[in-house]
Amino acid sequence: MDIRYREARKSEIERINELFKEMLQAIYRTDDVNGYEDGYLERFFDNNEDRIFVAESQEEIVGFLSVQVYRDEGYIYFDDLSVSAKFRDQGIGTKLIEMAETYVREIGIKVIVFHVEKSNARAHELYYRLGYEDNEDQGNRMRMVKEI
């Protein structure tokens, strides 16, 4: 299957929101989830350093990773990573993380932070395999960190 990776376009906000809801449904095992608040994703297209990277198959977005830059605090925050169910286990999440890590190096920040739900063992294992370490237990989720 041919997968292309690139930065998201503003016109793709609706599809990114659909993938976000799919991710929440998988994590919490319920269809009763809400997407992003209206206007939330606009920040990624406002000419700042925040980015959304996407995986695309046959002109359909099948995965994304959002990256928020906290330059004053000295870290990057990987906010949401979602890959559509039928495209999982093909290395797409890994490739999106690697793409985001390349971006982090390009803008000169050394620390990546994100959270993983404790119930999401698959994701936790992926991040651990990619060199992320548990940093802080925060109840239902774990804060993970990687210095690059």
Total structural domains within the chain = 1
Higher-confidence residue: 54 or 39? 54
Q: Supply the pLDDT for residue 29.
A: 83
Question: What angle in degrees, to the nearest 10, is found between the helix axes of 121-129 and 92-107?
Answer: 50
CA-to-CA distance for 115 and 93, rounded, in angstroms? 15
Domain that holds residue 136: 4-147
The domain spanning residue 122 has which CATH number?
3.40.630.30
For 65-112, the pLDDT digits (tens) are: 999 999 999 999 998 999 999 999 999 999 999 999 999 999 999 999
pLDDT band at 119 (very low <50, low <70, confident <90, very high): confident
Angstrom CA distances, 69 to 27, 91, 104, 117, stand at 25, 25, 9, 21
